[in-house]
Structure 1
């Protein structure tokens, strides 16, 4: 009996030591709103004859105005000597319906495991954000707000990639990152101007380049000033070959008291499997955050895309958008908000053929302009809770 008690006490001490060296955190966001949008059409795909249809105004409940609804688990284990194991499993869902997002993936937002060293940095493996997305996160005035942020136009639909090896290192005020994807796992259906689907999972024997992606970025932040530069490339399947989607960006920010101004430029080029130019554009953004009181925050952002060529058309009307957000925080975890935007020569989020309508297809709510329309206005009132 005495030996049993001693053994039990030793086991309890061991379990306590293991717990002290490891941690797992459950976290998440639930965000929902009521939205009004005008001049809405349908996403032009093969099933509707590539027809954007008649114009309608819609009032609907949406999931995610300031943040995509999600729940996740993140954890670490101290391995000693400044080394630890890390993992993240993050699932995106539609708070209005309870359904999974990211094409029905269980952990579609992030799913990775890796090792982190205090001196060297972090190496992670799995589904992750690309390096340029991470680098520009602190230089987006709306902080990648789900509702109207033109993140697909800025970054491309491959801003998350499957099968990815990623490195992130922080050295004083400098953060550096790089990644390689063996198969991005991004697949878009045929739309107007695109005769075949784009992308896929890759990782096909004998076709190493198929659907691969890679990139790198460096960011600097010290005091009120910040700056970043990044590059991203995706080689999606197009027909029986591979195209190339290349993007490079620079951005900067400056904070003064309760205000912060930021802006940037993104160069973009897409070519098909025959190395023929599909799209060439220059994307610009500028905006500001202003914390009126500890509880009230205001955001204004302007985006403009100079489309130099789109499927051979060099006279495309350049899209632009202005967006405004006001939010009131009841606490650190709960806030309410108003978000609104006006887009010209494209739908909200600057949705058009230039984005292959990827935002609408992902969200399940159309922001495609109807036939005969050239502008779109939207506004939403919502609530967000973090846990």
Structure 2
């Protein structure tokens, strides 16, 4: 639902002073359902003993099957001459409890935040757009742009990214991860004007660490192509220093490098998508959060040469305007240890009850070998080296 808040008194409450006419939109999505799978685990990290041990069958309420439950506020102010000031605030909602979700933090306990996904202020014009603050990384938008499963919570490139990170030692306690990224704090993203269907994004994330401009800093460039006739292409180069590293241990050494190429084509009722991603630690130094306290183990990889390839392919079919099928296959390979591999197949049916409400049924089968523990659904770990089959029935509503 949209509210155009014109009176100066109302704008003053939102912005702190009376400004020119602005447009403000309240929006959100609620997504949840029932998940059942034949294996489960208490955590992600394969470097913490017992975290990924098989705990057996799991049936639960799952918050998010297509995507997260969230709400947000976005708006813009027309400054004249084609120039606009823009803002966006967006945060997760736990549909299970109604609570806001934790924001990234170095160690537990993490701090909950109303806007743990996006807190952005920016400007746009004929020269493009600049956005500043905590943001969803252009890297994630790019890989989801051509993903056959659209970057969903259940069985998609998002789960493959989490699978690489958990195998590399990520404990699941922070959005600061060893490989790739979804969220970045303190970021500036510049988007060039669309040129012939091509959109280019450049991101720089500030480490905000005293004594070094490079410590904790990250840079990314993404290119997206949409010809308007069914063809999509995506490319990513991401280069980050001190990922999954405490600020006190940051040295400015690059330890998180990601490259990606993807393509998707739709014709008639059919679509097909494929992609390749490599994520590695080129530093030779183990990425880890360090020892949290004397009683806890180090959170991070024991090796300094993490290197994973991910291949994806899938097809879609639209049976009617209300009913469509999306499938995806995701293969992860540890290039340093061929015994660590993962293969996930996901299939899902969406039925649109209205423009805002969708019912869905999703199923997946993942075969993990060695230390791999690619999960069927984001936020619900599975056991390392164990084959898992699962199903989810859910409902999604946007407002």
TM-score interval for Structure 1 and Structure 2 normalised by the shorter chain: 0.7 to 0.9
Contact kept in structure 1, 2:160 and 2:330, CA below 8 Å: no
Higher Cα Rg, which structure: 1
1:154-199 C-alpha deviation (Å, 9 max, x unpaired): 384622100000011222311110100113xxxxxxxxxxxxxxxx
SS at match of 1:345: strand
CA distance in structure 2 between the partners assigned to 1:379 and 1:292 by the alignment: 21
Structure with more of its chain in strand, by fraction: 1
Going from structure 1 to structure 2, the CA distance change for 1:303 and 1:344 (only over 3 Å counts) comes to same
CA distance in structure 1 between the partners assigned to 2:47 and 2:331 by the alignment: 31
The reply to whether residue 304 of structure 1 matches residue 304 of structure 2 is no
1:280-309 C-alpha deviation (Å, 9 max, x unpaired): 121110112211111111100001112111
Contact kept in structure 1, 2:342 and 2:372, CA below 8 Å: no
What does residue 96 of structure 1 align with? 96
- Equivalences, count: 341
TM-score (norm 2): 0.77
What does residue 215 of structure 1 align with? 220
Between 1:80-89 and 1:136-145, the stretch displaced more is 136-145
- Residue pairs, 1:118-157, within 5 angstroms: 119-151=126-158, 153-154=160-161, 156=179
Structure with more of its chain in helix, by fraction: 1
What does residue 59 of structure 2 align with? 59
What does residue 321 of structure 2 align with? 294
What does residue 41 of structure 2 align with? 41
TM-score (norm 1): 0.80
Going from structure 1 to structure 2, the CA distance change for 1:293 and 1:50 (only over 3 Å counts) comes to same
Superposed CA RMSD: 3.0
Residue 278 (structure 1) shift: 2.5
Which sections of structure 1, spanning at least 5 residues, go unmatched?
Answer: 1-10, 184-202
Between 1:165-174 and 1:56-65, the stretch displaced more is 165-174
Residue 323 (structure 1) shift: 0.3
CA distance in structure 2 between the partners assigned to 1:181 and 1:278 by the alignment: 23
Contact kept in structure 2, 1:346 and 1:368, CA below 8 Å: no
What does residue 376 of structure 1 align with? 388
Going from structure 1 to structure 2, the CA distance change for 1:332 and 1:282 (only over 3 Å counts) comes to same
Going from structure 1 to structure 2, the CA distance change for 1:346 and 1:32 (only over 3 Å counts) comes to farther
CA distance in structure 1 between the partners assigned to 2:49 and 2:266 by the alignment: 49
CA distance in structure 2 between the partners assigned to 1:297 and 1:320 by the alignment: 24
CA distance in structure 2 between the partners assigned to 1:213 and 1:141 by the alignment: 27
What does residue 200 of structure 2 align with? 176
- Residue pairs, 1:1-387, within 5 angstroms: 21-43=21-43, 49-103=49-103, 104-117=112-125, 119-151=126-158, 153-154=160-161, 156=179, 158-169=181-192, 170-183=194-207, 203-222=208-227, 223-235=229-241, 236=243, 238=245, 240-241=249-250, 242=253, 244-272=255-283, 274=285, 277-309=304-336, 314-345=337-368, 352=373, 363=379, 365=380, 367-369=381-383, 374-387=386-399
Contact kept in structure 2, 1:131 and 1:232, CA below 8 Å: no
Which sections of structure 2, spanning at least 5 residues, go unmatched?
Answer: 1-5, 12-17, 104-111, 163-178, 287-302
Residue 50 (structure 1) shift: 4.2
Going from structure 1 to structure 2, the CA distance change for 1:62 and 1:152 (only over 3 Å counts) comes to closer
CA distance in structure 2 between the partners assigned to 1:86 and 1:52 by the alignment: 43
Contact kept in structure 2, 1:44 and 1:50, CA below 8 Å: no
Contact kept in structure 2, 1:337 and 1:382, CA below 8 Å: yes
CA distance in structure 1 between the partners assigned to 2:386 and 2:222 by the alignment: 35
Residue 109 (structure 1) shift: 1.3
Residue 100 (structure 1) shift: 1.8
CA distance in structure 2 between the partners assigned to 1:67 and 1:277 by the alignment: 33
Contact kept in structure 2, 1:243 and 1:273, CA below 8 Å: no
Contact kept in structure 1, 2:340 and 2:372, CA below 8 Å: no
1:204-253 C-alpha deviation (Å, 9 max, x unpaired): 21133222211001111112222121111222254734551100011111
Contact kept in structure 2, 1:102 and 1:109, CA below 8 Å: no
CA distance in structure 2 between the partners assigned to 1:208 and 1:102 by the alignment: 27
1:332-366 C-alpha deviation (Å, 9 max, x unpaired): 1011110111111169xx963xx8x9x99x83x3x
